[in-house]
Amino acid sequence: MWRNSLCVNRLEWRMSTIGVQNPASTAPHHSPPYYIPVSSSSENKALGQMAGGSEIVHGPLFLGTAFNVLLYGISITQTYLYLTSSKEDKWFIKYFVYFLFITDTIHTVFTLVYLYDSLIKNFGNVPYLETANWIFSTDPALTGIIGGAVQAFFSWRVKVLTRNTFLSLFILFCSVISFFMGLATAAAIAFIPKFNEFQRFRIVVILWLGSSCIADIVITTTMVLYLRRHRTGFSQTDHQVDRIIRVTMHTGLVTALWALVDLLLYLSSSSGKHLFFNFCLSKLYTNSLMSSLNSRGGWRYNEDSNAAFAFEHKRSTANFQNQPNSNIMAPEVFVHVESHELVNPALKVDQRIYEDLTSNFDAESKRSIVV
């Protein structure tokens, strides 16, 4: 074989010396046809897994994060309104509002970071899309902290309003369970990071979301029944009480129904549909508390406006008395004053409701809280 190749090389050398070109070198060069890659069955399976993991888990997660950011904007507005209109509140209430706002901000940042890492930095990374990391586990932890803290605050308000220690302790017990079970869910995710295996720790999730739902229902029912039972019969006061009842029902029932739907979707399917509700739950708790606190601003505004009207009425009555008119007798002036002084007692028929809505507790309320 090597002799044949040697002869061919010598023949080409002689032809080149006499000016004869090799016909093989002058033949037209044809480029190979365009190569179209054909994916194998394993590649198709991997692409299907990637699409399924992104749609089933990260689809609801993306929608939940978008709604979460929207609720965070509402929370910023609620916090600003509280700080500008409730400067007379106790210091621990203000620090509690600061704590909730900071924790809510951290929760929003972590959800956005996880979404960016999953859909941008690790796009096409099937193992990453199928598992949760420590950033994802911060969602149940922070949600449990925020929800438990808000429910504990409402248990204190129920104690101040109703003087019912049993109901207050029951709500506090449910809030403590919700707090620790949220942290336990975050720890369980670290040991079982697969999304399709999250139902292995369903006992912890049932205790977490179930206790939250029960606490919200008890809080809403107790406050609504108490406020309805203590109507005054005066239109101005009853209008304000009805407004507080509507705010309490809307905020309390929304969080209870949201947690219940989250739990039912988690138990009924191994997909990530429940993540849409879970990623928004903390913002609903924050907004429910801020709505309840800011609703007192309207009460104080109406009460102050009535007080201003009373002052103007007194001043006009006094000026009318100073006019040189002998037909106006002093007893008539006193009659006007007495008829006007009935306005403020109408607004303060139930002192405990007014004190709770304005956070200006008298000495008796302070002693009851200490006890």
What's the rounded Cα separation, in Å, for the pair 257 and 277? 10
What's the rounded Cα separation, in Å, for the pair 31 and 44? 30
* Distance in angstroms between the alpha carbons of the first and the last residue of the chain: 109
DSSP 261-315: HHHHHHHH-SSSTHHHHHTTHHHHHHHHHHHHHHHHHHHHHHHHHHHHHHHHHHH
Predicted pLDDT of residue 303: 43
Predicted pLDDT of residue 189: 93
Can you give the pTM of this predicted structure? 0.68
Predicted pLDDT of residue 129: 85
Predicted pLDDT of residue 201: 92
Predicted pLDDT of residue 103: 96
CA 304 from centroid of its chain's CA atoms: 33
Predicted pLDDT of residue 122: 85
Predicted pLDDT of residue 126: 81
Question: For 56, which DSSP code?
Answer: I
Question: For 63, which DSSP code?
Answer: H
What's the rounded Cα separation, in Å, for the pair 218 and 214? 6
Predicted pLDDT of residue 243: 75
Averaged pLDDT, groups of 10, the chain, 371 residues long: 50 52 48 45 48 70 93 94 86 93 96 91 83 92 96 91 90 95 95 89 95 93 82 70 75 89 90 90 93 69 41 40 46 44 42 47 40 33
**What topology does CATH give the domain 52-305?**
Rhopdopsin 7-helix transmembrane proteins (1.20.1070)
Predicted pLDDT of residue 191: 92
Cβ–Cβ under 8 Å, residues 142 and 285 = no
Cβ–Cβ under 8 Å, residues 281 and 255 = yes
